[in-house]
Amino acid sequence: WDVTRGQNEIIAVLDTGVDMNHPDLQGHLLPGIDYVPAVTDFDPSPDPAAPNHTHGTHVTGIANALTNNGVGIAGVAWDASTLPVRIIGPTGAAIDDEMLGIVYAVGHGATVINMSLGGAGWFQNERNAMNYAANYGVIVVASAGNDNSGVPFYPASYDHVISVANITSSETRSPSSNFGPYIDISAPGTNIHSTLYDNTYGDMSGTSMAAPHIAGVIALIQSAGRADTPAEVMEALLCTGKNLGTAGWDQYYGWGLVQANQAVLYTPGTNACLSTVANDSIDNAQPLTFHFSHTIDTTHATSWAGDPMPCAGDKNNTVWYRFDATRQGTLFLDTAGSSYDTVLAAYRKPASSLELAGCNNDADGGTTTSYLPIAVNVGDVLYVMVASNEKIVYDPLYPTRATPVGGTLKFKAELDYIPLAGCFGSEYSTSSIICISE
C-alpha cells in the first residue's frame, strides 16, 4: 500500500448485489445495474428476502472496502472503485444474465471482473462471454468451487479466467476447496471478516471469499504500472505465489498463495513461470513455407472471441498458421502423428473477414489425423486453424479427476505448385523445377 492502493482501477462485482448504503463501501461505489428482475433496473441492491442476499456485499468489502476511516475492515485495493452488477437472484445466476453482466462491466470501464459463483456445467455462451472480456483486455477472476472435487467448475475453468482456491489461516488448503488442472492461485477464504448487508459485518468462508482477494491484488498490480498487458499482470500475480505444495504449479494450490507485495513490485520477464503458445491467436499466426513441419505442445493453447467455429468440436486449444501464396498450386495440410484428435480449418482473408476455404476432422475415420488440400492462387492469404476435437474426459474410476484437452500437435504443410510457363518438374529431384527460355 506504500506503492499503490488501486487508484484509477474499477473492480466489477457480478454477484447478488451490493448494499449501496454501507458506510464502509459508499465512497467507492459506482452506479451499477440489476439484471435479475424481469425488467432491468439500475439499482444493484440485493433482495433482502433472498437467502444469499448478503453475499455480494461481503465479496465487495474484501476487494476494496474503505480503509483508514476508523470503521470496519480494510479492503485489498482500497482506492479502487466498485462497479456493482447484480446477476444472482434467489435461485442463482442465469447464463444470459452473466453474459449481460460481462458486457456491461467491459463497457463501463472495468479493469477486473470478480465472479464468486459457478457450477459444473460447460456452456458455449458463457465461454463466449469470458472470451469477450479477454478480447478487451479485462481480466476475469472466479471462485474455484467448494465441493472438494476435481470436476471442472465454471466459469473458473474457462480459458482466460483466473481460478482461485481457498486457503485457511494456517496456510493449508480448505477441505472443501476444489482442485484440478484449472486451479491458478490460492488466497485466504476461510472465516473472512467483511461487510454484510444493512451496515453490518460478519465472517463467511469459501472460494467466493478467496476470489475477491485476487481481484483486489490485480487492481493493485494494474495501478502500480509495472505490468502493461493482461498477460504481464497474470505473470506478476502467478509467478510470485508462495509455494504451499509441490514446487511450481500443483492442482491444489495452483501457483501458490498470493503475495501482494511481490506481485506489485514484480517486473515482467523477471521470473516468467507460465507456459505459453506463441501462435495461440490469429494475430500471432506462424508463417508457413512451401515445405513446413512443426511440433508443438498445445496443452496451454486457448480460444479467443474471434476464433471461428470449425466443422467439429468447440474450438478448444486453437493454434494458428498463415500462408501468403506467391505461387499457384495446392497446399496440403495434415496432422498425422498428433497425440490428440485434431480439427483442421483453413480460411481465406480477402479483406477484414474470414471466409471458410475447407475443414476436416478425421482424414481416415475415427483417428487423430486431419488432412486438408486447399487450392491457392498468387496473392491469396490463407489462415489455418488447428483445434482440438476433444472435450474434458472423465475417468469413471476417479470421477473427481479431469484431463485437459490438447497435447502434442504434429503439423505439416506442403505446397504442390504449378510450374511457370516453360518450366517442368525434374525427374531426379521432387524439389527442383527446370525452366527453359529462348
What residues are annotated to the active site?
15, 55, 208
Asked whether 417 and 293 are in contact (CB, 8 A), the reply is no
Q: In terms of Cα–Cα distance, which of 411, 410, 405, 409 is closest to 313?
A: 405
Query: Which residues are CB-neighbours of 67 under 8 A, at least 6 positions away?
Result: 5, 73, 74, 75, 78
Beta-carbon contacts of 284 under 8 Å, excluding residues fewer than 6 positions away, are 278, 320
Grid cell of 201 as nine digits? 459485518
Instruction: Check: CB of residue 195 under 8 Å from CB of residue 60.
Output: yes
Cell of 188: 485466504
Largest Cα–Cα distance in the chain?
Answer: 94
